[in-house]
A = this chain, B = another copy of it.
Amino acid sequence: MPKEARAKPGASPPSSASAFSGRHLLGLQELPAEEIRLLLEQARRYAPLSTQNRTKHPVLKGRLVVTMFVESSTRTKNSFNLAARRLSADTMDFAAGSSSLSKGETLIDTAKTIEAMGIEILVVRHPASGAPDMLARHVKAAVVNAGDGSHEHPTQGLLDIYTILEEKKRIEGLRVGIVGDILHSRVARSNIWGLLKLGAEVWVCGPATLIPEPLRDLGVKISHDFDALLPNLDVVNMLRIQLERIKGPPMFPSIREYARLFGLNAARMRRAKKDLLVMHPGPLNRGVEITPDVADGERSVILDQVANGLAVRMAVLHRAAGLAPFAEGGAE
Closest Cβ neighbor of A303 among chain B residues: B116
**Does A90 lie at the interface of the complex (its beta carbon under 8 Å from any beta carbon of B)?**
yes
Which bracket fits the contact residues of A?
35 or more
Name the contact of A104 in the complex, choosing from B82, B118, B119, B283 (C-beta under 8 A): B283
Bound: A188/B90 CA distance, A: 35
**Does A96 lie at the interface of the complex (its beta carbon under 8 Å from any beta carbon of B)?**
yes
Question: Would you give the 0/1 interface string for A61-105, flagging 1 where the beta carbon is closer than 8 Å to chain B?
Answer: 011100000001111011101100100001010111011110111
Contacts of A116 in B (CB 8 A): 51, 303-304, 306-307
- Contacting B at CB under 8 A, from A52-67, are 52-54, 56, 62-64
Question: Would you give the 0/1 interface string for A89-130, flagging 1 where the beta carbon is closer than 8 Å to chain B?
Answer: 010101110111101111001001101111110000000000
Q: Which of A53, A82, A112 has the most CB of B within 10 A?
A: A53
Question: What does DSSP make chain A's interface, helix, strand, loop or mixed?
Answer: loop
Q: Is the CB of A100 within 8 A of B117?
A: no
Contacts of A120 in B (CB 8 A): 53-54
With A282-B113, A283-B105 known as contacts, the answer to whether A53 contacts B96 (CB < 8 A) is no
Q: Is the CB of B50 within 8 A of A106?
A: no
Q: Is the CB of B283 within 8 A of A117?
A: no
Contacts of A306 in B (CB 8 A): 112-113, 116-117
Q: Is the CB of B52 within 8 A of A118?
A: yes
- In the complex, what's the smallest C-beta–C-beta distance from A316 to chain B, in angstroms? 16
Bound: A104/B243 CA distance, A: 11
**Does A310 lie at the interface of the complex (its beta carbon under 8 Å from any beta carbon of B)?**
yes
Q: Which of A90, A101, A304 has the most CB of B within 10 A?
A: A90
**Does A198 lie at the interface of the complex (its beta carbon under 8 Å from any beta carbon of B)?**
no
Q: List 20 A-B contacts (CB under 8 A).
A: A53-B63, A53-B119, A53-B120, A54-B62, A72-B98, A74-B100, A77-B95, A78-B92, A81-B92, A85-B90, A100-B283, A104-B283, A113-B282, A113-B306, A116-B307, A117-B306, A117-B307, A117-B310, A118-B307, A118-B310
12 additional A-B residue pairs with CB within 8 Å, beyond A74-B98, A79-B117: A50-B118, A51-B118, A54-B62, A56-B62, A74-B94, A75-B113, A103-B283, A104-B283, A105-B282, A105-B284, A109-B282, A118-B310
